[in-house]
Structure 1
Amino acid sequence: MTNHSRRTFLAGTTAAAVAMLAPGKYATAREASSPAVTAPISGVFQRTIGKIEMLSVSDGANSFPRRENFVSNVPPVDVVRALQAARLPTDTITLTFTPVVLKTNGRVIVIDTGLGEAAFRQSNGVGGQFHTNLEAAGYDAAAVDRVLITHFHADHIGGLVTADGRAAFPNSEIWVPAAEYAFWLNNANMARAESEATMANFQRARRIFGILGDSVRTFEPDTEVAPGVTSMATHGHTPGHTSFVVESGADKVIIQGDVTTHPALFIRHPDWHGATDMDAEMAQQARIKLYDRAVAEGMLIQGFHFPFPALGHLAREQDGYRLIPIG
């Protein structure tokens, strides 16, 4: 494993989502097209960021019963009211999963990888759609130059390996946040795991990164991790959770990973704490800092769990923000 310095189905909610995958969400197109995506493909949305081509590529979606502690620091009745205000079901949470593909300076970069091939088979194609949709868009996983990871939950790293335990991107470097790698690969941290879901995260990280071996490289915050792509520390959801700022010319987009997992709840109420945030206070601070910047600079924002195509702008609204989707 190489360290890069500044110079150069799952814990909590998503675990419940994976456990309850069932057929019926998101059909996937299978017609191949050129990497320029000249015709609409279900599950693929194209946008340009200056000279950078950006694809939002669906990995699927899943609905599961809302737990009373889905938001951990407010009464459940407040959560119900927020869902009602957004005209969403109050007894069910739906999460979408949307990795990103960038074509920048002749390189193909993937950001997060979805649930993976095993989940695709388990769910009869409901989850783990990323690789199928990537192929439908005309991209070969063997031609991906680099994969960037926001954090080590299963819906973000599951697609790094195939169902039979091989590297899913055989010719790619896998770049991961140094703090995230250090936490999940630490024996003492694993020994202190307080839940089965957290223990499963440790075990999964060890299995996946053991398979990937020397292709794994770590990076620090504020590192240019690909042409036009800079890492940004947004710790809290996990110890090393990282976002990416993509910039070309006057255009910018923030790839925010799981800074928030549910826009109607945690964008509208940024001081609410998600049950899956490992350090909820730190996650709150990261969320507000990131969203204040997005509003001030008018930046586009991509959220892994935002409704597909998972892109929008933010506007201030009372004591929080509002997502204005595009597409």
Structure 2
Amino acid sequence: MSDFSRRAFLAGTATATIAATASGTVSYAAASDGASAGAKGTMPGIYRQNIGEIELLSITDGANSFPRRDNFVSNRSADDVAKALQEAFLPTDQITLTFTPVVLKSSGKLIVIDTGLGEAAFKQSSGVGGQFHTNLAAAGYDAGSVDRVLITHFHADHIGGLVTADGKPAFPKSEIWVPAAEYAFWMDSGNRARASSEAMVANFERARRIFGILGDGVRKFDADTEVAPGVTSMATPGHTPGHSSFVIASGTDKLIVQGDVTTHPALFIRHPGWHGATDMDPVTAERSRRMLYDRVVAERILLQGFHFPFPALGHLTREDDGYRLAPVMWNPAP
């Protein structure tokens, strides 16, 4: 991949504010079940999990690695961050983020939660990112068969897949549902004028371009709204002003799709008081994180995290002043 393509890919992710100028390396998504697809002959990452009568598919959009920046955690020293990564048996000089949207089959409806970086990023990055649509097809589904798309927030790795590489709606027959507070923030011209960095300006422009393509049919939801069969919205602001999570419930089973409440489990789950450089309101983000994770622990709820290691599912336990992620055991059987 050229340096230009690599920089452009990094700038398109949620880590844009700290990684856009890095000439970092990249990594390909881990192989999983399904037909051959994606970059460099990799296999698509597709994992199935039942939540009562709802079928959940974790479908990878790829992964990216980049040199660790000293401000990746804004309220802790670089040494503290390096120590936390070392304790998690991770490299101390780089950060790797995976991207995992969710697909649900519920009451005869096909529902997508977040859409990855999109087809343009897939081409630009030579398949490192933007794998979701390719892997969705490998799972046996066409974007035209999706009934509803739900969005947690408006960062590029969550909304980029809403449009095609040539600027058309990627889910032409779908209802697109977004958090009302998130839409209001990014579409406000006053907020755009007050943007304090190039990365923020780029995010405003991207959101406006994408939702301009989608037009007036975009639906907005508030917290505690049933946004799809068995799916209820939950306000978890801080990472962005209108960031939302989703509670999926069927029978006695329950799962929460948490979006970017945490962007790196070894850092922000283990240390919920640490503040991510990409959290727009770090104090509110910490409050949302603790509120959500206390509930997850108390009720033993399964958690899905967009940036968790694939298949991006696990339970939380308390440990010292924070939590620890217990990943779902990989099971290749459908």
**TM-score when scaled to structure 2?**
0.90
Q: Distance in 1 between matches of 2:257 and 2:310?
A: 14
Instruction: Sort the Cα spacing of 1:24 and 1:291 in 2 relative to 1 into closer, same or farther, 3 A.
Output: closer
1:219 and 2:221 correspond: yes
Give the aligned partner of residue 187 of structure 2. Answer: 185
CA deviation vs aligned residue, 1:239-260 (integer Å, no higher than 9, x gap): 0000000000010000000000
For structure 1, the 5+ residue unaligned runs are 1-8, 33-40
Q: Offset at 1:21?
A: 7.6
Q: Distance in 2 between matches of 1:97 and 1:17?
A: 17
Give the number of aligned pairs: 311
Q: Matches of residues 72-151 of structure 1 in structure 2 within 5 Å?
A: 72-151=74-153
Q: Offset at 1:26?
A: 2.2
Give the aligned partner of residue 156 of structure 1. Answer: 158
Instruction: Sort the Cα spacing of 1:20 and 1:179 in 2 relative to 1 into closer, same or farther, 3 A.
Output: farther
Q: Which one of the candidate residues 223, 241, 244 is aligned to 2:246?
A: 244
The question of whether the paired residues in 2 share the 8 Å contact of 1:11 and 1:276 is answered with: no
Instruction: Sort the Cα spacing of 1:226 and 1:44 in 2 relative to 1 into closer, same or farther, 3 A.
Output: same
Q: Distance in 1 between matches of 2:62 and 2:106?
A: 25
Q: Distance in 1 between matches of 2:160 and 2:73?
A: 25
Q: Offset at 1:74?
A: 1.1
Give the aligned partner of residue 71 of structure 1. Answer: 73
Counterpart of 2:63, as a letter, is A
In angstroms, what is the RMSD of aligned CA positions? 1.7
Give the aligned partner of residue 26 of structure 1. Answer: 29
Moved over 2 A (4+): 9-12, 14-24, 26-32
Instruction: Sort the Cα spacing of 1:164 and 1:30 in 2 relative to 1 into closer, same or farther, 3 A.
Output: farther
Q: Distance in 2 between matches of 1:62 and 1:177?
A: 27
CA deviation vs aligned residue, 1:225-275 (integer Å, no higher than 9, x gap): 000000000000000000000000010000000000000000000000000
Secondary structure of the equivalent of 1:232?
A: strand
Secondary structure of the equivalent of 1:67?
A: coil
Q: Matches of residues 275-314 of structure 1 in structure 2 within 5 Å?
A: 275-314=277-316
CA deviation vs aligned residue, 1:91-119 (integer Å, no higher than 9, x gap): 10000000000000000000000000000
The question of whether the paired residues in 2 share the 8 Å contact of 1:115 and 1:157 is answered with: yes
Q: Distance in 1 between matches of 2:66 and 2:26?
A: 13
For structure 2, the 5+ residue unaligned runs are 1-10, 37-42
Counterpart of 1:310, as a letter, is A
Counterpart of 1:220, as a letter, is D
CA deviation vs aligned residue, 1:48-84 (integer Å, no higher than 9, x gap): 0000000000000000001100000111111111111
Q: Offset at 1:214?
A: 2.7
Counterpart of 1:173, as a letter, is E
Identity %: 71
Instruction: Sort the Cα spacing of 1:206 and 1:19 in 2 relative to 1 into closer, same or farther, 3 A.
Output: farther
The question of whether the paired residues in 2 share the 8 Å contact of 1:45 and 1:309 is answered with: yes
Give the aligned partner of residue 44 of structure 2. Answer: 42
Instruction: Sort the Cα spacing of 1:197 and 1:325 in 2 relative to 1 into closer, same or farther, 3 A.
Output: same
Secondary structure of the equivalent of 1:159?
A: helix
Structure possessing the higher relative contact order (Cα contacts under 8 Å, 6 or more residues apart): 1
The question of whether the paired residues in 2 share the 8 Å contact of 1:301 and 1:312 is answered with: yes
The question of whether the paired residues in 2 share the 8 Å contact of 1:14 and 1:155 is answered with: no
